[in-house]
Structure 1
Amino acid sequence: MPSAISTDVLIVGAGVAGLWLNARLRRQGFSTVLVESSALGGGQSLKSQGIIHGGAKYALHGALSGASEAIADMPRRWREALSGKGELDLTGVRLLSEAHYLWSPGTLAGNLTSFFASKAVRGRVDQVKGADLPPALQDPKFKGKVYRLAELVIDVPSLIARLAELAGDSLLAGQNIEPLHDGDQLIGLCIDGRNIIAQRVVLSAGAGNAQLLKTLGVSQPTMQRRPLHMVLAKGPTLKPLYAHCLGGGPKPRLTVTTHPAADGQWVWYVGGDVAEADGVAREPAAQIAAVKKELGTLLPWIDLSQVQWATLRVDRAEPAQSGLTRPDNAFLNVQGRLMTGWPTKLALAPDFADRVLAALSHDEIHPTPQPPLAGMPRPPLAVPVWDQLLP
């Protein structure tokens, strides 16, 4: 094995953003090395609910935001990839639900009127009833309204496994990362003593970007963390539910997705407003109690007596924004050979890759022939959080 490796693009961080970018680059003929210090998808990716947003939840005020504009095309691009006809071939990735739903439990007519007036969702929302309702809402006691959104929910573990297949021999497990300079210019990284020289270095390590930038002696861009306190529930009485529950405010009261556990049971993964400010301040037992109360109020026909519970604290890593607001798009900062970015949401991984490819094109970086890598230590796939917390 040579002491130094040359590649077109060296990527650090093998979550969905890094893996998607890696696959896009390889499909266009670029040579790549993708470095991961722990497990594939083991950071923010496997803590995602798997929703491929189309902007609907950002339009709950009835106002069209930058986020709802930017993200509107993402479901189409993901669907094409899942069918094998898109920018990547994601055939074999499990689709958990063909749609995400908006569920109004009461008489929130004013909220719904402004919501459906939004251009962000016009023509992409249909009311569903009866047998078309999500299984968890098919009960005579359910009195609310449900709308089908033109979004989808994917199984993130199977997505990561497929993207790892598309990575071929480009994956590298590496713990110790140091800058590699030629004079004052960054020309690559030293990974566990192995020098990797690259035309461009991309940091896509989520929360890990902050430490990587510090290691490289780079002060910008700065990062923010938006904390969440999610709740997981597993039990034999839980049925599939993929929905935002409308509250009276601009954010969903609850957002519930359902995931298959290793033992065959369903796991509800609960976020939304209940997981934000007040939820973050609660201790785990109090957060579980709050979510149980909400579910008992909204879905009283669901027997929760045999359900196992756990909580998960998540820090969404993003470029720093005024007032900790959510960025509207994927983000990329370019400084010489160094590119640093965050997709900001799972759904925006294609947008993140677009930005890197546009920067490479702008700088006239083209694919160069490189020998295949062999015998490299390869990072493992991460275990889904529900199987870690609710074995």
Structure 2
Amino acid sequence: MSQAPLSIHLDLAIIGGGVAGLWLANRAKSAGFSIALLESKALGSDQTLASQGMIHGGMKYTLAGALTGASEAIAEMPKHWRACLCGEGDVDLRHTRILSDHFFMWSGDDLSSKLTGFLASKITRGRIEPVREDRRPPLLRHPLFAGSLYRLEDIVIDTPSLIANLAHNIEGHCFQIDWSQAQLHKNADGIVSLNIATPEQPIEIHAQRFIFTAGKGNAELLQQLGLANPVMQLRPLQQVMVKHHHPFDFYGHCLGRETTPRLTISSHRLPDGSYIWYLGGSLAEKGASMAPEELIEQAKQELVELIPWANLTGARWATLPIERAEPLQPGLVRPDNAFIAQADGAANLLVGWPTKLTLAPNLANQALSLFDDAGITPSTNRINLHDYLPYAKLAKTPWELAFPPAMSAEEALARRLNITDEEGEPTEDDN
């Protein structure tokens, strides 16, 4: 006879371990809710670690010479994140690395006159400032540089450390789920539950609210339940990664004539200290339909045109296809804000997309407001799911996967320290 499932009752079951799910889990745990976050791959995989880590206030959307709805919706986000990074916000991010406390916008001569007037106007005052020639970053400190350069008082964070920080805050609450052994169910009253066949015994998870924060995976989860709303849209990208030898970092947007920066550059490091440029912006949007080799050639041409003095001889190149998942918008335009709403036909299910890394706190605020409106309050249930499910692991960055090290970190350390065996001979790895 098959074993009867064990019923486990939680306040909140969050499915999806990217920044949206982790941030919401942090807020919910602090509010006293019993929570479990369930991730099928690894924490931060797909969209979150594919982000360039720029926590911006929307100024990059001023390319038409006016502030847009998108820029105004997120204008306060850098201030919110800074408070959290100082341990003074609604989520403690004191263990998240800040890669840069600012980033840059630059333009060529053809756009300088138009942008200078607008970016110096009172509407942008305090959010952006021109950069003097002697204060340029190393990459743009070259006689051939021409155009306008502005510094944004926004920040760039290290997304792997962000995910590790958020997961550490809720240690013991992030679990791995294998969908080949699990199934969502919805009863006649529209109440969602989750059955999982674990090695010990089958479990049936019930929750006051299930929340889908699985990005692109939300559509598949809804399909399991026979639901279609909220509807998702996908905006494909293909980013470019360049492993180079320039001994400095750079974070900035090159402005073009479109509503997206012509090129966005962020800098990252591999575990061995190697430098990576991660290229996004319009290049990545237009590159979504290109073959990797074609996009890499396009990226090389862009860099030659925009920063011809940068010597990329011997650089290694790779691309990363991404599908940004968002709530459906008229004309498939970019959403202005984070989104979370109750699923049609399910009484205890919410579905959300942060739409941008920057807006993860906004999604959590919306979710907590929905709990309050529905009268959802913390219970006394405290269940340790680790008796049945393994803990979720942290994902690797796209550049770690694209440029795997020639040797492990342990092997590299042994080589540097010239470790020998007990007889004084070099270890096998050193031969």
Instruction: Please tell me the TM-score bracket, short chain as reference.
Output: over 0.9
1:231 is paired with a residue of what secondary structure? strand
SS of the equivalent of 1:233 reads: strand
Residue 263 (structure 1) aligns with: 272
Q: What's the CA shift string for 1:360-381, capped at 9, x where partnerless? A: 0001111112224143311110
The secondary structure found in structure 1 opposite 2:191 is strand
Cα shift at 1:225:
0.6
Contact 1:60 1:111 in 2 (8 A): no
1:184 aligned residue: 189
What is the CA–CA distance in structure 2 between the aligned matches of 1:100 and 1:348, rounded to whole Å? Answer: 18
Residue 68 (structure 1) aligned with residue 71 (structure 2): yes
Q: Which amino acid aligns with 1:27?
A: S
Tell me which residue corresponds to 1:250.
259
- Could you say what secondary structure the match of 1:326 adopts? coil
CA offsets 1:314-338 (integer angstroms, 9 cap, x no match) = 1100111122100110011214211
Q: CA deviation at 1:68?
A: 1.0
Distance change in 2, residues 1:119/1:84 (3 Å) = same
RMSD: 1.7
Q: Aligned-pair distance for 1:136?
A: 1.6
Q: Aligned residue for 1:379?
A: 392
Shift of 1:175: 1.4
- Counterpart residue number, 2:334: 326
TM-superposed deviation, 1:251: 2.0
**Residue 131 of structure 1: how far off its partner (Å):** 4.8
Amino acid at match of 1:344: T
1:223 is aligned, of 201, 210, 232, to 232
1:108 CA drift (Å): 1.2
1:316 to 324, 329, 333: 324
Secondary structure, in 3 states, of the residue corresponding to 2:175?
strand
Q: Which of 212, 222, 236 is the matching residue for 1:213?
A: 222
**Aligned partner of residue 196 in structure 1, secondary structure:** strand
Deviations 1:189-233 (A, max 9, x none): 223442111000100000000100000111111111101111000
Query: Partner residue of 1:197?
Result: 206
Q: Which residue of 2 aligns with 1:285?
A: 293
CA deviation map 1:22-73 (0-9, x unaligned): 0010011111010000100112101111111201011211233221111001
Amino acid at match of 1:186: I
Aligned to 2:413: none
Kindly indicate whether the alpha-carbon contact (under 8 Å) linking 2:10 and 2:383 is maintained by their aligned counterparts in 1: no
Matching residue's letter, 1:224: Q
Measured after TM superposition, the shift of residue 170 of structure 1 is: 1.1
CA positional deviation for 1:110: 4.2
On the 8 A contact 2:10/2:382 being kept in 1, the answer is no
* Paired amino acid for 1:251: T
Residues 348-387 of structure 1: pairs in structure 2 closer than 5 A:
348-373=359-384, 374-375=386-387, 376-387=389-400
**C-alpha separation between the residues in 2 aligned to 1:120 and 1:231?**
34
Judged with a 3 Å threshold, the aligned counterparts in structure 2 of structure 1 residues 119 and 332 are, in CA distance, closer, same or farther, namely: farther
Alignment partners' CA distance in 2, 1:169 and 1:274 = 40
1:118 Cα deviation from its structure 2 partner: 7.0
Instruction: Check 1:137–1:366 CA distance in 2 against 1; reply closer, same or farther (3 A cut).
Output: same
Which of 175, 180, 200 is the aligned partner of 2:178? 175
Equivalent position to 1:241, from 247, 250, 255: 250
In structure 2, how many angstroms separate the alpha carbons of the residues matched to 1:49 and 1:219? Answer: 31
Where does residue 58 of structure 2 map in the other structure?
Answer: 55
Check 1:190–1:119 CA distance in 2 against 1; reply closer, same or farther (3 A cut): farther
1:95 and 2:98 equivalent?
Answer: yes
The structural deviation recorded for 1:134 is 2.2
Compute the displacement of 1:260 (Å): 1.3
Partner residue, 2:160? 157
Structure-2 change in CA distance of 1:125 and 1:219 (3 Å): same
Give the greater-gyration-radius structure (CA).
2
How many residues are treated as equivalent by the alignment?
Answer: 389
Cross-structure match for 2:127: 124
Change over 3 Å in CA distance of 1:65–1:359 after alignment to 2: same
User: Counterparts of 1:315 and 1:304 in 2: how far apart (Å)?
Assistant: 28
Sequence identity percentage: 45
1:272 alignment partner in structure 2: 281
SS state at 2:160 partner: helix
Aligned AA for 2:378? P
For residues 302 and 190 of structure 2, the distance between their equivalents in structure 1, rounded to whole angstroms, comes to: 55
Q: Greater shift after overlay, 168-177 or 156-165?
A: 168-177
Q: Name the TM-score, length of structure 1 as normaliser.
A: 0.95
**In 1, Cα distance between the equivalents of 2:124 and 2:34?**
40
Aligned partners of 1:82 and 1:89 also within 8 Å: yes
The one-letter amino acid paired with 1:269 is Y
The amino acid that maps onto 1:123 is G
